[in-house]
Structure 1
């Protein structure tokens, strides 16, 4: 099953300040897999989405269903209100 993303994992990585290698080490995904997802994160396998969602501690609802207001608030809180 493949879903279309509303928010990209590249955005989440850049906002949170992680390097590709760090994400690779913590998720078990290769750097090349992560790069491929980040270059076109509009479609990916559910299992990969779950790994990355768990890593970023963001429910897949915030990515796929588009709970934008909740996502934006959570992101704003994470960034310290900036």
Structure 2
């Protein structure tokens, strides 16, 4: 059930910009407790898992199993948008310009088509670089 749990913890901590000691302190542990979770030497209690999920703003399903529980196999539009936001944040863009709704409201249909075309071109270019 908790395969790669320690790696998820490490990844979430790094994405959040915390040190192991900072997380231990935030959770009220001694300095090395959280590090033992990341090394796989200790397993947190359910209460601690809930605190970790809240700290990293993820579900318990994701924290424990590495995937979200879904009644349906298809993702909702909202969950796909959240993945895009998390992708930006994971690459260091906390408040990317592209996610500012007030800017999008000013654009015409033609502007949006132009952005779509440009995005498709950038993706194509990136795929070409990968295949080289």
The TM-score bracket by the shorter chain reads: 0.5 to 0.7
**1:59 maps onto 2:59 in alignment:** yes
Q: TM-score, normalised by structure 1?
A: 0.67
Structure 2, gaps ≥5 residues long: 70-74, 95-132
Alignment of 1:26-65 (within 5 A): 26-40=26-40, 43-65=43-65
Q: Deviation of residue 32 (structure 1)?
A: 1.5
CA displacement, residues 11-66 of structure 1 (integer Å, 9 cap, x when unaligned): 11112211122212211122211011001189432111111111112121222341
Q: CA RMSD in A?
A: 3.2
Structure richer in strand, relative to its length? 1
Q: 4+ residue stretches of structure 1 with deviation over 4 A?
A: none
Q: Distance in 1 between matches of 2:17 and 2:59?
A: 19
TM-score in terms of structure 2 length: 0.46
Q: 2:59·2:68 contact (CA, 8 Å) conserved in 1?
A: no
Structure 2 counterpart SS, 1:75: helix
What residue in structure 1 maps to residue 25 of structure 2?
Answer: 25
Q: Number of aligned residue pairs: give it.
A: 78
Structure of higher CA gyration radius: 2
